[in-house]
């Protein structure tokens, strides 16, 4: 099974009907969404309960791990211990987990998180602290996929029941990993598409790099190639969840719809689509 979703339910003009019902509008087109807000702060309980109530029974979220959980910042700024931080995060998402509204938690690690013994031990701690929750791992340091480490990395992810995030991104020198078309979990593989804007991903324009790094529209030919990759991964996992993150210019929804057409797939259990009355 191949499913398709976008990063966030905001800022997708192609599918938005009413700014007050963005999540409902989104859920009428795609069966899951990657949640960015949880990276910047653990969401309040009222927000999580609201999201739960506004989506269909089969809809799922892929929340990004809070930034201190992936070592983008220090945990001791806000928590008494690392374990307490993980416990708070997991407890907050308990309502969504209970109702099977969480497809996986996405742990996206920074470029300085390399393939070291210390970092492998930290990943083991994450597995322990997150209990049996589904966890997808995305690396940004190419050492995990070096000729020496690649097979060991995939074996490590498999042994600890981590979901491999296969990434399509520009191949810049310092913050990219290669496209490694391999699943490590029988239930799920993520295929996360960042676009191929080399200059933007490299961050050459420091002032606007956040706006430019995912400014990219995949061509039909490129989407056909990505469809082949998704079909290959489908042979190794029950589900391949394709995530379009190329939305700096609003291209994600358009490309997602095109890929859906190329694959010839429909999604069941979506929210009813609303008429645009304004």
The per-residue pLDDT for 33 is 97
Kindly list the distances between the CA atom of residue 227 and the CA atoms of 3, 154, 204, 247, in Å, as whole numbers in the listed order: 11, 22, 30, 19
CA distance 27 to 161: 29
Residue in this structure with the two tokens 């070592």, named with its chain if needed: 71
The per-residue pLDDT for 277 is 38
- H/E/C letters for each residue in 33-50? EEECHHHHCCCCHHHHHH
- Other Cβ atoms within 10 Å of 198 Cβ, number: 15
Q: Are 61 and 37 in contact (CB under 8 A)?
A: no
The per-residue pLDDT for 202 is 66
The per-residue pLDDT for 200 is 65
- Return the domain boundaries, the chain: 2-263
Running along the chain, 278 residues long, what does each successive block of 10 average in pLDDT? 94 77 91 95 93 92 97 90 95 94 97 96 97 96 95 97 95 85 97 82 57 81 97 97 89 94 93 61
The per-residue pLDDT for 175 is 75
CATH superfamily, domain at 2-263: Protein of unknown function UPF0759 (3.20.20.410)
Q: Which of 277, 268, 273 is nearest to 57 (CA)?
A: 268
- Work out the end-to-end distance of the chain between its first and last CA atoms, rounded to an integer number of angstroms: 36
CA geometry: angle 186, 120, 241, nearest 5 deg:
30
**DSSP 8-state assignment for residue 133:** -
pLDDT tens sequence across 191-245: 999 988 767 666 655 455 566 776 788 999 999 999 999 999 999 999 999 999 9
Helix (H) or strand (E) holding 164: strand 162-168
The per-residue pLDDT for 278 is 34
The per-residue pLDDT for 273 is 78
Give one word for 69, left, alpha or beta, with left for phi > 0 and alpha for psi -120 to 50: alpha
Give one word for 138, left, alpha or beta, with left for phi > 0 and alpha for psi -120 to 50: beta
């Amino acid at each position: 099974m191949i499913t398709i979703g976008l990063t966030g339910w905001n800022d997708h003009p192609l599918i938005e009907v009413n700014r007050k019902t963005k999540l409902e509008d989104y859920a009428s087109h795609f069966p899951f969404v990657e949640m960015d807000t949880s990276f910047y702060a653990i969401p309040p309980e009222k927000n999580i309960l609201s999201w739960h109530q506004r989506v269909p029974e089969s809809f799922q979220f892929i929340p990004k791990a809070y930034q201190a959980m992936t070592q983008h910042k220090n945990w001791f700024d806000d928590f008494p211990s690392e374990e307490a931080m993980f416990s708070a995060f997991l407890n907050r998402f308990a309502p969504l987990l209970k109702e099977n509204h969480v497809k996986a938690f996405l742990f996206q690690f920074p470029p300085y998180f390399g393939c070291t013994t210390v970092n492998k031990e930290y990943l083991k701690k994450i597995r322990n602290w997150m209990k049996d929750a589904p966890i997808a791992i995305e690396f940004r340091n190419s050492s995990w996929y070096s000729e020496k480490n690649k097979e060991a990395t995939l074996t490590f992810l498999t042994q600890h029941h981590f979901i491999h995030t296969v990434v399509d991104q520009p191949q810049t020198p310092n913050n990219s990993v290669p496209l490694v078309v391999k699943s490590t979990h029988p239930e799920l593989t993520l295929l996360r598409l960042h676009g191929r804007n080399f200059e933007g991903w490299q961050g050459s324009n420091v002032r606007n790099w956040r706006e430019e790094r995912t400014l990219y529209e995949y061509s039909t030919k490129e989407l056909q190639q990505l469809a082949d990759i998704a079909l290959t991964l489908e042979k190794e996992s029950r589900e391949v969840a394709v995530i379009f993150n190329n939305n700096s210019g609003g291209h994600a929804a358009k490309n997602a719809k095109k890929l859906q057409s190329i694959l010839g797939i429909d999604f069941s259990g979506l929210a009813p689509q609303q008429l645009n009355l304004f």
